[in-house]
Amino acid sequence: MSYEEILSKSPSVSAELEIERRTKGDIKMSGGNDYKLFKPDKSIKKKTIKKKYYAYSDGDSLYINCIHYKIQAWYTPVLSEGRFFVIRGGISTDPKIQKEQLDNQAQLGYMFGAVGGAFQGAKLAMLRFIYVIDKETNQITTVSNDYLKECLQETPELLNQYEAEEEQVDQKIFLKYLRLLNEKTNANN
């Protein structure tokens, strides 16, 4: 129910929820992230799960509720944990951050110019970005080439390895180095 509960791994609410991967059609129609959670017997309201819970763990994976980070509704799994929670989520709902994300996508050649409203909305709903949540500050940041280089400054060997990559702005590469950075952080603690 709170970020503090996530960090301490001591939830104040215990519930067995169903985790469902959302279809592309559902995401295109209403936006949001890739997973929704629900209680089959409806003893916990959908609105409560969608808006009030911060996260859910099924014992194997931790799912972050992105609405609390202005990354649309619903949940996404934590891909790596260490210094950061690393997640892959939809486009930000914060207008300033959204503009930066779209400008970056356009620079990378991922946008196709002006298109019709519904088609554009569906296309935007399907965009995914790598984010990090700093565990000390609970601040979320969209990962970019510059941001990742800044994070890797403390590990020169990883920075050199990253700079030698051909496709530095690929999300798989971002994820690879964030996982390596988290592993180093975990090893040092």
Tell me the H-state helices in 111-152. Answer: 117-126, 145-152
The pTM score is 0.90
Cα dihedral 167, 170, 174, 175 sign:
negative
Model pLDDT, residue 106: 58
Q: What is the pLDDT of residues 9-47, one digit of tens each?
A: 899 989 999 999 999 999 999 999 999 999 999 999 999
Q: 152-171: per-residue pLDDT in tens?
A: 999 999 999 999 999 998 99
DSSP 22: P
DSSP 8-class letter at 15: -
Which residue's entry shows tokens 């959908």? 46
> What radius of gyration, in Å, describes the C-alpha atoms of the chain?
17
Q: At what angle do helices 145-152 and 171-188 cross, to 10 degrees?
A: 20
